[in-house]
Amino acid sequence: MKLAVVGATGEVGRMMITCLEEFAVPVESLTLFASARSAGSTLYYADTALSVRELTSAEMREPFDYVLFSAGAGVAREFAPLAAASGAVVIDNSSGFRQEKDVPLVVPEINGNLLKGYQGIVANPNCTTIQMVLPLAVLDRLFGLRKVVVSTYQSVSGSGHKGVATLESQRAGGSENGIYPNLIDLNVIPQIGSFADNGYSQEEEKIHFETRKILNNWNLEVSATTVRVPVIYGHCESIYAEFASEVDLAVAARELGKAESIAFEENTYVTPRDLGNSNDSHVCRLRRGTGPNSLCFWNVGHNVRLGAAANAVRILLRHAQLAGRI
């Protein structure tokens, strides 16, 4: 298959290249694009040196089978439709198309069926949403999900290179806030994105919308509080969920333990430092909630892998399988 990665020199773009190799995607050719500033740099795929090309409208009219975008919403809105119009399936990691009615928002283990026969732009969900909906979808099938209350603890790499650089600068003694509204080192900041009139931040509103869209349940009650923490990689979430029927914790544990892309842990817990190169959503500390129809759990995922690059590559593979390309 003829593939391209847009935003190849960024944190997620580089991980997309890594995941293409790790997931053994059959690659006939791989073309890498970035801004004019990064054009000409060299990246490696399977020990092969590839020169990064400047992203232009003409380049996006080349015949690709799949184009992975991780270049921000503005770039995606400008260039993704050009690639799609030229016949490529575009998988976009930005927020640019997630709320578009006719654009599927996909976690393949949950709603990959939406990719069958589909051509055009596919939206990759927000990192925090991906790791949360994987276990919630399992529990929804078992007990009928009605309400979710989640607090997230999100690493600085979720802000890209600048987030990591800000934390590292402050750890070295710097006193500038950098890209955050407050110092992040030795601190936590309960704000990710600007606040809306209703008091919720942009990140929180993403979780509200995307969870309902992916689970195809617009009556689902979702309330999120998102917090930036001084960790480099790995997002954590404390999740409380209510259901239509009584929860059987033994059944929940059994089914979570069998589910694709979920690592269920009993009698222990996972922290960001434990993740390594995991592409799974880690579920632990499963326990009863405030009543028989509720439960709580701790959820950890690698935001650059599971929360971005790995899910994008899994979308590519699922679409290619359904289209008979592999």
Which are the catalytic amino acids?
Answer: 127, 235
| Terminal Cα distance for the chain, rounded | 9
DSSP label of 55: P
Q: Cα separation of 309 and 312, whole Å?
A: 5
**How many other CB atoms are there within 10 angstroms of residue 228's CB atom?**
25
Q: Cα separation of 33 and 40, whole Å?
A: 10
Q: Cα separation of 38 and 18, whole Å?
A: 19
Residues 6+ apart with CB under 8 A from 47: none
The distance of Cα 196 from the centroid of its chain, to the nearest Å, equals 23
In single-letter form, the type of residue at position 10 comes to G
Sign of CA dihedral 224, 123, 144, 281: negative
Residues 6+ apart with CB under 8 A from 286: 249, 252, 253, 256, 264, 266, 295, 296, 297
The distance of Cα 149 from the centroid of its chain, to the nearest Å, equals 19
